[in-house]
Structure 1
């Protein structure tokens, strides 16, 4: 992948990560109102969010190389 493709992919992953934040908040809100939070669904969303964060970090490492001091 070239730099432009990586930047597009990074933007998509960040967007999906934010969407998961919204979904998790909505699940918590719904659970608070109904008195029941679906723990399995919550765990799946959080696991997906962590996986996305790892992929985001990997792309950022490629785009922003370490500077040797």
Structure 2
């Protein structure tokens, strides 16, 4: 269906969208899209940091007692 849209077709679509919504509405919409992307990236970073913190808190030594080095006092 959209396999043969060329540069002229994309330009025509852009002009129609600009006429229908106006420059102000499109710029505010793009600003909201940018804020959403930023918020999404921040959420991903916070989620990864939380997972790493939980993993670090629950990490435990599973070395068998026989293989653990003896501390010299």
Which structure has the highest helix share of the two? 1
TM-score (structure 1 length as normaliser) = 0.46
TM-score (structure 2 length as normaliser) = 0.44
Q: Give the number of the structure with larger relative contact order, counting CA–CA contacts within 8 Å between residues 6 or more apart.
A: 1
